[in-house]
Amino acid sequence: MYIQALGGLALFLWGVQLLSSSLERSLGVTVKKLLYKITCTPWRGLLTGIVVTMLLQSSSLTSVTVVGLVNARVISLAQALAVIIGANVGTTVTGQLLSFELHQYALPVFVVGFGLSLLPVSTIRKIGSSLRSFGVLLLGFSFMVGAFAPFQEDKVSLVLSFQESNFTLMGMGFAWSALLQSSSAAMGAAMALLENGVILLPAAVALTIGADVGTSVTALIASIRTIGAARKTALGHFFFNLFSALLLLPFWNVFLYLARLTSLEETRQLANAHTLYNLLGALLFLPLIPLWVYLLDYLVDKKRIKKRSS
């Protein structure tokens, strides 16, 4: 049971990495050109972040790419922050796909992708490679769902064990995502637990939102030994996710009520809650980017001045 759960998680995480790598190889140059040309206004930056992350299936990859572009002085800090806000919305697509129970078609998707990847036409091979990777992702999710099924026999005690505070559950999601370096993997595990009734919707939402904060650790690591603007970008990503989570807590019950209105299926409610949460955060923070840039300049540059004076 536990081996199957861990194996499913490993397969899922591997599938995410394979899919991101495959899409990056196919679209990497296009993505960088897109980021350079279409981020001149905050709203364009937002849309670019959404599209790029939907294509790459990894907000971490998008944020690391953005940090690199800022470090190379290709785009500005304000442009980078708008893209990162969009990346948070784009990454919810993975949860939306999983909520439609596509894991039931994991093997056919993998087989079709594998067959296409063997063909001599380059474009078809790239499509096949992406489908094959997506099949691995779905297969991993399917293993996780199957592994958690036996817990249904004792799900009452398990549900009670997850009646922690929202802050604690978000902390668990943060640690999970930071360790796995993937919020999608944390979302997949939370959805598998929810589908089997092991946890309830509030716990699944809290874990997922905490995972969103944890995924910003990747950009923080990538910003080590970079110029100040790149460090500001990574720090801005972390603060955006953290403040979005903290601002949601006072309206928690209202937010869950809205999520439950979106569907009768709990897995769909979780996916919709994740998308709604990131959309609301984007609409709230996007107009504040100039103030955000000012605060990041103050925090980072003030710290640098203090180090020089000491």
Q: Does some domain include residue 309?
A: no
Six token digits for residue 290? 């100039």
pTM: 0.76
292-296 LR contacts (CB < 8 Å, sep 24+): 292/81, 292/236, 292/240, 293/77, 293/78, 293/81, 293/232, 296/77, 296/232, 296/235, 296/236, 296/239
Q: What is the pLDDT of residue 30?
A: 60
User: Could you report the per-residue pLDDT of 10-49, keeping only the tens digit for each?
Assistant: 666 666 566 556 655 655 556 556 665 655 677 888 888 8
User: Could you report the per-residue pLDDT of 116-132, keeping only the tens digit for each?
Assistant: 888 888 778 877 887 88
Q: What is the pLDDT of residue 310?
A: 47
Q: Environment class of residue 46 by beta-carbon count within 10 Å: exposed (0-12), middle (13-18) or buried (19+)?
A: buried
What counts of helices (H) and strands (E) characterise the chain? Answer: 16, 0
Q: What is the pLDDT of residue 181?
A: 67
Count of domains forming the chain: 1
Q: Does some domain include residue 308?
A: no
Q: Does some domain include residue 310?
A: no
- Amino acid sitting at position 241: N
For residue 133, the SS3 value is helix
The rounded Cα 165 to chain-centroid distance in angstroms is 23
Place 274 in a pLDDT band, splitting at 50, 70 and 90.
very high
Q: Hunting for tokens 């103050």 — which residue is that?
A: 298
Q: Does some domain include residue 204?
A: yes
Beta-carbon contacts of 250 under 8 Å, excluding residues fewer than 6 positions away, are none
Q: Does some domain include residue 42?
A: yes
Place 160 in a pLDDT band, splitting at 50, 70 and 90.
very low
Domain that holds residue 92: 2-303
Q: Does some domain include residue 292?
A: yes
Sign of the four-CA dihedral 53, 56, 59, 65: negative
